[in-house]
Chains A and B, each alone.
Chain A
């Protein structure tokens, strides 16, 4: 450990806080709470300076988008604008309680309503809920909507079809909603295999879950045929919106005949990922599914914005309140800053950057699917693997050059996968630097594979033993 744990700074009786005096007379807490009291808490006793130095030291052992390129495929790690952070810290917008009367919060509700309208415009969906707090949460909401819809229609549809290239949250969400998951193989071009789809579809099919472009970055060019096939079988089609950065201003899920979808505000709309969260995963639906959206739904009448709780067909709530409002404020600020044209330009540059990287890397690394791709692409490290170095080690070696690694070993359809998504906020300078580093590593693999196999060398800790961590779990101090 480069920096000891906060508890190791502890010294009995040291304090890092102060509160105003109590002012009121004390109750007889000991007597009144007999049997409910404790005296065994062991939280650290440290000073304010200890805390500040410790967490500053930890931050120095971390890497964010502000540190450099973060080419994690499927994660859309774009720059997180500082002005969005300013907006999300305005006391009048944030020091508000979820149960304050709506009449006191018209300013905030109007922001949320504008965000809903803009998301609907971007996606060609009719109604939006902002309640889900992450992409996966939005997936779960969507599948519960599918379930409720068919229950209402008294149709017993138990199956959800998921391509083998899908993100793990897709099948996991389907299972949580009580569906059986049917996986279908992709074809040799990396797209949905229409024959496999036709075979999987039947009267028990509730939905197909699809992202487009898919996780290989490839646009499903038969998309209208796909949605038509599912609809003809009586099923619904769900769009995983993780890849919206690839199509804004160029295509809309609603026009592709998807029935419902989720957005990831923490990907497409620039909100910071916080080292794992918080995110926000709004769900958009076509009109006929709107009655099933979670309660409450934000609405507007002539004079005010309000939460509509009178939703008898709703799937219910999935969050204690209205979702991750602080994240929505940032996404609102982002959309207002860019406007419609800016969003379209975002997509154009995201796709341009990805294609430039691909063009320059595909000679040295295998490109398993030659198909044109959009905002991300997947390389295979299989050639390097034959030379004795796995994709994992290529990723670790990148860290030595102070750059974050791509998503690895996903999607599962590619061996030794490296999924690369530069986003639009990189420029040719940082892309060239990344390319040169990758080419250097490719050369190192030929000349000195051990150097790469033993990476990383220069990080605060070197390669960590994951097997040991799982075998002998040490999960707290």
Chain B
């Protein structure tokens, strides 16, 4: 057992004396007996570090991690290369054991890094303003939708089924709180037909949500849809973007996005079973939007000597000042994950991010071509995808999935989980030619 308490018995006595009490339990005399816990908590006795590590390793041994098999899983959580310096740098405890930078003068490290993060998110998305992070991609999307409703005063939301189904569910949970009305749009051939938008958009529409690339890996007709939205005075375009692909793909701002959000786990953060992840959020440089933006924002300013420095700013949007009138309840965010993304982006630079994107693209298309050459299998997205695509087989998708699992291959995300027959396959720069060839070889003999 280890409890990290270092007052000795003699010191405790001295402290009690100062307080004017005899025993530690006297400190709790105000707690009525009826609500007090039993003599002790019914939790097994504490263990040493050695035992803890043994126990943790034992649990790890009951898992089968991605190190032990080939994985083509994506669908919102991505297995990209993580430069070793990220963990080394964020392990500096001045970073990871700090709180939210309430005392700016003693938190310039956290604050300057957050300013850099905001700058890089603006660069990636092409937007004018970014906040310091959201809890994850799904909640960022949801808070962007409610933000759009507040800005426009409208409550109708167009939600295509090409948006990640988990995000759609989170958006609807938040939407139930904000009492929004959702119009679900059905896709054809992995994209949304712009005519569907045209048909459903009206003057009460607050926002149209598009994912870029979408859940199935395809690129929506961004330009065409954006034009329809721009024809409406009071409707915003919300783009959920995959940030690691924005080294290659055009910035969402260039398609007229008003708000851009997404999941930035894939920028330098590991998988960790889906959390902690990193939601990002950016909007146009527009006062009306800025006033409705949730989350912390870091700004540059000067000190009394005129020296530049950083502070939390525009806090009159936030819960600790505005309480029930705040733009969001968010307090704790994902600052350390944002720092990891910042270090990742600095390390890769514009060339590196572009190369990662290109490798993802070329490798995914290599695999897709091979699969299209097999009988009994096809890629549904045809040529319109970036690095995720839907594999359709004559056999039931679950059967294909399970058989490949026997071969130590996770072929992707079984769309049976959302009621469709197909497998969403993801190829990142980490997948080797040998791994892809092995998948093709096994598919061939299924």
Contact = CB atoms under 8 A, between A and B. Distances in A.
A255 B34 contact: yes
Interface of A is mostly: loop
A87 B328 CA distance: 33
Given A175-B324, A224-B34, A273-B99, A466 B116 contact: no
Contacts of A6: 116, 342, 346
A273 to B, nearest CB: 5
B299 A61 contact: no
Interface string A355-394: 1101110000000000010100000000000000000000
Interface residues of A, number: 200
Most buried by A among B113, B135, B362: B135
Interface stretch (A32-40, A197-205, A437-445): A32-40
B139 A466 contact: no
A322 B113 CA distance: 28
Contacts of B95: 58-59, 62, 64, 274-275
Interface string B86-129: 01110111111111111111111110111110111011101001
Contacts of B353: 41, 43
A275 B336 CA distance: 6
B161 interface: no
A446 B140 CA distance: 49
Contacts of B166: 317, 320-321
A250 B32 contact: no
Given A41-B246, A317-B170, A326 B275 contact: yes
A100 B65 CA distance: 9
A405 interface: yes
A320 B164 contact: yes
B110 A275 contact: yes
Contact of B323 (A52, A86, A168, A319): A168
Contact of B313 (A75, A247, A264, A473): A473
Given A62-B94, A256-B35, A341-B45, A94 B299 contact: no
B325 to A, nearest CB: 7
A426 B202 CA distance: 60
B28 A351 contact: yes
Given A63-B107, A64-B93, A469-B299, A38 B324 contact: no
B60 to A, nearest CB: 3
B30 A221 contact: yes
A396 B73 CA distance: 49
Contacts of A78: 4
Contacts of A255: 34-37
For the complex of A and B, the 6 pairs showing the least CB-CB separation, nearest first, are A321-B274, A92-B60, A274-B336, A276-B335, A107-B62, A64-B97
19 contacts: A1-B112, A19-B359, A23-B432, A29-B248, A41-B123, A51-B346, A52-B89, A55-B89, A55-B92, A60-B94, A83-B49, A87-B56, A251-B35, A255-B34, A273-B332, A274-B336, A277-B135, A352-B15, A461-B104
